[in-house]
Structure 1
Amino acid sequence: MQLVHEPVSGGDATDKGGDRRVLATDVDLADSLLSQTRGLMFRRSLLDGSALTFRFDSAAVRDVHMLFVFFPIDAVWVVDGVVERVERLRPWLSFARAECDLLVELPAGTADGVEDGDRVVLES
C-alpha cells in the first residue's frame, strides 16, 4: 500500500497529473483499538517513506496529541480523499483536531506542499 498526493490547480479540483507524488510506500494501518490508541507514542522515530494511517467508517472530528511522541510529525486530515487540514506537530506539546475519515501521520517535512483541497489517497 502507498500514500499518494495529488495537488489541485487553482482550487478548481483539476488534477495536475505531473505533480502527483508518493508520500509513503511503507504505510502502517492502525486498524485495532490498541494500535489507534497507541499511535506513535513511545516510538523513537518514523522513517522516511513511511506513514501511520487511521481509517474510519465516517467523517468526524478527530484529535491528534503528541504526548509521549519524541519527534515532530506532519498530520493530514482527509475527508473522501480531499485534504481538510495539514499541520506540523511538535514533540510532547502539540495538539490539533479536524474532521476526517482518514488521518495520516508522516515524518516532519513529508507533507510540505500538501494543501487544503488537494487529494491524498491510499492505493494498493
Structure 2
Amino acid sequence: MRLVHERDGASATLADDVEIAEGFVQTSKGLMFRSSIPGDYALVFEFEPPSGISAKLPFAGDDAVARRFIHMLFVRMPLDVLWLQGETVVHVKTLRPWVGVGMADADRIIELPEGAAEDVEVGDRVVLER
C-alpha cells in the first residue's frame, strides 16, 4: 500500500509502508510504546458509520464522520497527524510526544513521522492506494 498526497495536479508519496489499524486493540494502542517508526511509515485509522444502538442516537449521522480525538500518552516520538473526510484533509497537526492532543471531524486519521506531512494543507487530497 502507498499513501499519496495530491494538490493542484501534482502528487507526492507520503508513505510506502502503510499499516491499517484493525480491531479494538490495535485501534486503541496506535503507536503507543513504540520507540521509533520508519521514515516512510503511516498508520491509518478508518472509521465505519455507527451501527446498533449508537446509530439510533439523535446526534448520530449516517456516515462515519464524527469528532475524532488523538492523544500522545505513551507515544515516544512526535507525529504529524492528518484528519480526513473521505480523501480530503480537514485538519493537520504535529503532536508532541506524551502531551500532544488533537481532534477534528473525520472518518479517517493518518499518523506519520514528524515532518512527513509538512507540505500537506487543509483541502488537499490524501489517497490510500491499495
TM-score w.r.t. the length of structure 1 is 0.90
Q: Which amino acid aligns with 2:40?
A: G
Identify the match of residue 36 of structure 2 among 36, 41, 45.
45
Corresponding residue of 1:10: none
Q: Distance in 2 between matches of 1:103 and 1:75?
A: 7
Q: CA deviation at 1:109?
A: 0.1
Q: CA RMSD in A?
A: 0.7
Matched, 1:102 2:93: no
Residue by residue over 1:25-53, the C-alpha shift from the partner in whole angstroms, topping out at 9 and shown as x without a partner, is 10010011100000000000121111000
Matched to 1:4, the amino acid is V
Q: Which residue of 1 aligns with 2:82?
A: 76
1:88 counterpart residue number: 94
Q: Hey, what's the Cα distance between the residues in 1 that align with 2:93 and 2:36?
A: 18
Task: Compare CA radii of gyration and give the structure with the larger one.
Answer: 2
Greater per-residue strand proportion: 1
Equivalent AA in structure 2 for residue 3 of structure 1: L
Q: Percent identity?
A: 46
Instruction: Specify the alignment match of 2:60 in structure 1.
Output: none
Q: How much has 1:121 moved relative to structure 2?
A: 1.3
Which runs of 5 or more structure 1 residues have no equivalent in the other structure? 8-15
Q: How does 1:1-124 map to 2 (within 5 A)?
A: 1-7=1-7, 16-17=8-9, 19-57=10-48, 58-124=64-130
Deviation above 6 Å: which 4+ runs of structure 1? none
In structure 1, what is the Cα distance between the partners aligned to 2:98 and 2:92?
A: 18
- 1:13 paired residue number: none
